[in-house]
């Protein structure tokens, strides 16, 4: 028995090596990494530029505590990240993962409110379903009962509004009235809670595992910005999964040309090479907090030079190889191939997403959007069948009465058409095996 444990008893073969979009276990079996791990390995595995940058940095220093030294790598990465962020968001606070980014953004928002004499503002509204991280603070804004309920007494659960799942509600996501309809739920919630108590709203511009690549409906992101401005509520974009080019833009919110007050970034920022994340904040917010005595927050590995050197090389690779343009092209190809599968398998009730953050959802009935019976165990079974066939796709137990069985198909941004066709072939084969198992 292994000494190691994770969430469940799930046993997996030992990983031997990985290169590009492929991974091999120690028996020599090859897998297509069709989910970039957990939507992390955006530029693929074993990228020579990143490995070389890490080696160079390793030979100089691997740790410089932030209270003792600045490092060239962390300064340079902060500069690059700020350069990619919307105007006015120029200050970068490094962390080592997505949950830390969520925590840091909420704490910075709170301290900024205190500098403005708004001690009564502490509520962070979020959406149901949503995922913002596994630590207790991040869980308080996570909209997913199976993960939060056991810890309820240990945290202050924050107010939630429904995520804009137009496809389930029979609304047209391209109609601006749909965006306005869901954004109104935010205004209603702010008024219900009392605007003077609401600190921030945290939102994934394009959803990740919780909603299965849910793209915000037309006008939603813009309207939310207006509502937040009107009530003095800070807007946090959680771009932990979407940031770093996965949707075809460096930040997903660029699709709507809206700027938040704070951005959370992680997964693709380190690209699977190092644990790395960041909060990018409005300059004046950071100045106010620093002037008032400082940000009461920080983690030991923040701004680690090795992590930052890798992060810089990841951005170089994305920019110099046109990986965001490739993501748009390959995303369109993959989406159309997934839509072909939707024609073939009536159980696929929806295909959605942007760039290479794509998902399909299985349903018992497409028209009524009836979910599959829970006992079909689709989220586990289909992932398992695909895995046995050498294809990694991503699913999360999203049930709890909230969602259906959606599967993320998110290969690295370096993927090409023949590789996507190979991926679709394996998915087709896996779906037909799964359908054969399903009671008629
Ligand atoms: N926020 C979003 C949108 C995520 O998708 C995730 C992870 O899946 C997190 C936060 C938490 O990140 P981490 O698992 O690195 O703590």
The domains found in the chain, sorted by start residue, are 15-46+322-437 (3.90.1150.10), 50-320 (3.40.640.10)
- The protein residue with its alpha carbon nearest to ligand 1, atom 12, reads 98
Mean pLDDT of the chain: 95
Question: Shortest CA distance to 425 belongs to which of 326, 361, 338?
Answer: 338
Instruction: Please check the confidence at residue 196 and state whether its pLDDT lies above 60.
Output: yes
Strand duo 160-162 + 89-95: pairing: unpaired
DSSP single-letter state for residue 216: P
**131 in contact with ligand 1, CB cutoff 6 A:** yes
Greatest C-alpha distance within the chain: 66
CA-based radius of gyration for the chain? 21
Instruction: Measure Cα distances from 150 to 103, 105, 163, 261 in Å.
Output: 20, 24, 22, 32
**137 in contact with ligand 1, CB cutoff 6 A:** no
> pLDDT tens across 143-164, in order?
998 889 999 999 999 999 999 9
Give the predicted TM-score (pTM) of the model.
0.97
Q: What is the pLDDT of residue 403?
A: 60
- What is the 41 CA–ligand 1 centroid distance (Å)? 14
Of the listed ranges 55-59, 173-177, 210-214, 216-220, the least confidently predicted one is 210-214
**98 in contact with ligand 1, CB cutoff 6 A:** yes
- The protein residue with its alpha carbon nearest to ligand 1, atom 1, reads 132
**240 in contact with ligand 1, CB cutoff 6 A:** yes
Cβ(249)–Cβ(255) below 8 Å? yes
> pLDDT tens across 338-349, in order?
999 999 999 999
CA–CA distance, 405 with 164 (Å, rounded to integer): 17
Does the CA dihedral 158-211-403-395 come out positive or negative? negative
**96 in contact with ligand 1, CB cutoff 6 A:** no
pLDDT category, 398, cuts 50, 70, 90?
low
Percentage of the chain exceeding pLDDT 90: 88
Pick from 95, 99, 398 the residue to mutate for probing ligand 1's pocket: most ligand atoms within 8 Å of its CB. 99
- The protein residue with its alpha carbon nearest to ligand 1, atom 5, reads 241
- What is the 149 CA–ligand 1 centroid distance (Å)? 18
- What is the 286 CA–ligand 1 centroid distance (Å)? 23
b/e sequence 224-255, b meaning 16+ C-beta within 10 Å: bbebbeeeebbbbbbbbbbbbbbbbbbbbbbb
**272 in contact with ligand 1, CB cutoff 6 A:** no
**211 in contact with ligand 1, CB cutoff 6 A:** no
- What is the 377 CA–ligand 1 centroid distance (Å)? 24
pLDDT category, 399, cuts 50, 70, 90?
low
- The protein residue with its alpha carbon nearest to ligand 1, atom 13, reads 98
**139 in contact with ligand 1, CB cutoff 6 A:** no
Give the mean model confidence (pLDDT) for residues 61-89.
96
**97 in contact with ligand 1, CB cutoff 6 A:** yes
Instruction: Please check the confidence at residue 75 and state whether its pLDDT lies above 90.
Output: yes
């Amino acid at each position: 028995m292994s000494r190691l444990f994770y969430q469940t008893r799930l046993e997996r073969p030992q990983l031997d090596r990985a290169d590009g979009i492929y991974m091999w276990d120690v028996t020599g079996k090859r897998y297509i990494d069709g989910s970039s791990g957990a939507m992390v390995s955006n530029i693929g595995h074993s990228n020579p530029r990143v490995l070389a940058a890490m080696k160079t940095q390793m030979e100089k220093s691997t740790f410089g505590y932030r209270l003792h030294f600045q490092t060239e790598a962390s300064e340079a990465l902060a500069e690059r990240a700020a350069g990619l962020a919307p105007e006015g968001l120029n200050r970068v606070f490094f962390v080592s993962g997505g949950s830390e980014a969520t925590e840091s953004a909420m704490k910075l928002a709170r301290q900024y409110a205190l500098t403005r004499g708004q001690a009564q503002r502490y509520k962070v509204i979020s959406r149901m379903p949503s995922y913002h991280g596994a630590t207790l603070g991040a869980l308080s804004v996570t909209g997913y009962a199976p993960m939060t309920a056991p810890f309820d007494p240990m945290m202050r659960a924050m107010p939630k509004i429904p995520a804009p799942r137009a496809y389930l509600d029979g609304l047209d996501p391209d109609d601006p009235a749909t965006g306005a309809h869901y954004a109104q739920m935010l205004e209603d919630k702010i008024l219900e809670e009392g605007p003077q108590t609401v600190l921030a709203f945290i939102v994934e511009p394009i959803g990740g595992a919780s909603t299965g690549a849910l793209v915000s409906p037309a006008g939603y992101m813009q309207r939310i910005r207006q509502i937040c401005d009107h009530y003095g509520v800070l807007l946090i974009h959680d771009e932990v999964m979407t940031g770093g080019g996965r949707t075809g833009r460096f930040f997903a919110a660029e699709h709507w040309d809206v700027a938040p007050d704070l951005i959370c970034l992680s997964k693709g920022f380190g690209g699977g090479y190092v644990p790395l994340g960041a909060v990018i904040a409005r300059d004046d917010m950071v100045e106010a907090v620093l002037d008032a005595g400082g940000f009461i927050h920080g983690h030991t590995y923040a701004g680690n030079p090795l992590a930052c050197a890798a992060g810089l090389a990841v951005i170089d690779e994305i920019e110099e190889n046109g990986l965001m343009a490739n993501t748009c092209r390959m995303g369109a190809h993959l989406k159309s191939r997934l839509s072909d599968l939707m024609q073939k398998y009536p159980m696929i009730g929806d295909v959605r997403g942007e760039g290479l953050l794509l998902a399909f959802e299985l349903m018992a009935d497409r028209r009524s959007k009836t979910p599959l019976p829970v006992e079909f165990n689709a989220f586990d079974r289909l992932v398992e069948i695909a895995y046995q066939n050498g294809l990694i796709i991503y699913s999360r137990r999203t049930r709890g009465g909230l969602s259906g069985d959606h599967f993320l198909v998110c290969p690295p941004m370096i993927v090409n058409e023949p590789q996507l066709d190979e991926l679709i072939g394996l998915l087709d084969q896996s779906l037909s095996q799964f359908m054969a198992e399903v009671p008629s």
